[in-house]
Amino acid sequence: MRQLYLLRHAKSDWDDPALPDLDRPLANRGRKAARLMAKYLRRADIRPAVVLCSPAKRAKETFSLIAPAFGKVSSVFDRRLYEADTQTLLACLATLPADTASALLIGHNPGLDRLAAYLTAERDNSDAAQRLRDKFPTCALAVLSTDADWPTMTAGCCRLDDFIRPADLDEAG
């Protein structure tokens, strides 16, 4: 069983409209959410074997804030993850070695939202599935599991195990 974690970057700062999108940093609210998510990841003992991360500054900053929860982890910053569609995200996952048991993908919407919907494609009425269908907010984490190999992931091959939003963590204290 493989684990796939989809994490949308934390909230970005829009104070400088002249700043190129790729260079936009995290807002204070985003840094707070990433620290909350790091605490959750540590508490839930989520330790991906590899992290695939967009090279956008806000994604890299999100990764740097959550990385201490993992200890030592292999990471790849892949330009294809920036503004990627479902097929591009699947192509990035397909490059993972066959023996990789778990991966965390840090990216952007609408790509992550669409990828999660494609991979789960289930009529799950759980609370987590409803939250995912409603909105994939910044710094939210979708936890998926699958028996599929990375290169053969197709529609509906994953089960949604959980969907955690920063607001859920804030409420939990």
pLDDT for residue 79 = 96
Residues of the chain scoring pLDDT < 50: 172-173
Indicate the helix (H) or strand (E) that contains 91: helix 86-94
Domains, the chain, with CATH or none:
2-172 (3.40.50.1240)
What is the b/e burial string over 93-129, where b = at least 16 CB atoms within 10 angstroms of the residue's CB?
beebeeebebbbbbbbeebbbbbbbbbbeeeeeeebb
Provide the whole-model pTM.
0.95
pLDDT tens for 35-79 read: 999 999 999 999 999 999 999 999 999 999 999 999 889 999 999
